[in-house]
Structure 1
């Protein structure tokens, strides 16, 4: 990715909007997302158009119910990226704090309702800081993104199309990344060692996503 690569931040911002909880604001963003997708390369735009067309044709309450059933009730479809590498362990707490510091260093502050590792939040930040730094942050979580994409595809979730678009903005998986994805798929996220209390404060632990992120 080069510093003049401008379409990727536009794609990440659009993907972030489409991964938000589907409330009234989400519905108003769909026409904006459609216009934004029109200016993207087809490999990133086509999956977004598929998702938008599917969503526009369904009642809002059905989309909201599907979102909760997918992201709240399926651990394999967890939208919190540090969970894939660290589970709910002390190391995840450290990873979350690092993310918050990365955001703060760029002058970007989260609201109390937003967790720093939610994919929609990471994508929005990547869009703000640009293709070079944003791409690097997303590549840091490449294995988790790919595992989420595969889980959504297996569940036949319409949000799998949004993850297909995210994947299209990133380089192909390397050998090490393929190994990490295979390991996570086989073993699942790590578990905390016996006798250790969770490190992460309550505001950093996964919470139901059926509302503002």
Structure 2
């Protein structure tokens, strides 16, 4: 399959974007100069997107690592609407998500790549690393299929004025597809329903468990990822 629209696609840009959106760690901060160089020289990315990515990199470069990690958790680990597990936006916790992840894992394996035991195939940084390791005829259709999810999360992050929105804008710029309004609306509605369920479950938990205070209270062949990472959703 030819790729006339993006003849200069740079696979390393996928890897760089995946590193930026992943849970911040010391190794990521140390690699920021290299990440910045890759993205600054990718002319497929619009100038404004490259500017915003540079701003995110500077935020990560100047920030305290503990603060950066807490901010990341507050964004991506506590709301389904911003989840980095892509299939969660369209399948929630249904069996369909499990089957979709099995199929994606099989695609990874077919290209000689395997996940670590603790990671899920629909986790965006993992997907980005995979996209960096395969030819355009494999990577671009996958990215295009996820365009509506990427757009939904990008919009939410922009509303929160989060610099991480630049990563999703970058991935959208590389995706060779327009966003299907119906699919986008479906993602937004599915996330709204799942977040409502989460809030309802939290309310029930508070109702069932009284809170007390006192002395009795308890105070590319293999994808490589840092061993310490928040539990997958």
TM range (shorter): 0.7 to 0.9
C-alpha distance 189-5 of structure 1, shift in aligned 2 (>3 A): farther
**Aligned equivalent of 1:52:** 57
C-alpha distance 53-129 of structure 1, shift in aligned 2 (>3 A): same
Tell me by how many angstroms 1:6 deviates. 4.0
SS at match of 1:156: coil
The yes-or-no answer on 1:35 pairing with 2:41 is: no
Measure, in 1, the Cα distance between the counterparts of 2:168 and 2:117: 25
The yes-or-no answer on 1:210 pairing with 2:230 is: yes
Q: Alpha-carbon deviations, 1:9-41, whole Å to 9, x = none?
A: 122111011112111111112111111122112
Measure, in 2, the Cα distance between the counterparts of 1:8 and 1:185: 31
Extract unaligned runs of 5+ from structure 1: 192-207
Extract unaligned runs of 5+ from structure 2: 195-227
Tell me by how many angstroms 1:136 deviates. 0.9
Matches within 5 A, 1:61-210: 61-174=66-179, 177-188=180-191, 210=230
* Residue pair 2:80, 2:89 contacting (<8 A) in 1 also: no
> After TM superposition, what 4+ stretches of structure 1 lie above 6 angstroms from structure 2?
none
| Corresponding residue pairs, total | 195
* Residue pair 1:82, 1:141 contacting (<8 A) in 2 also: no
Q: Give the TM-score normalised by the residue count of structure 2.
A: 0.76
Q: Give the TM-score normalised by the residue count of structure 1.
A: 0.82
Tell me by how many angstroms 1:113 deviates. 2.4
Higher relative contact order (CA 8 A, sep 6+): 1
**Aligned equivalent of 1:5:** 7
Rg: which structure is higher?
A: 2
Tell me by how many angstroms 1:190 deviates. 7.3
Tell me by how many angstroms 1:52 deviates. 0.5
Tell me by how many angstroms 1:187 deviates. 4.3
Tell me by how many angstroms 1:46 deviates. 2.5
Measure, in 1, the Cα distance between the counterparts of 2:88 and 2:190: 13
Question: CA RMSD, aligned part only?
Answer: 2.4
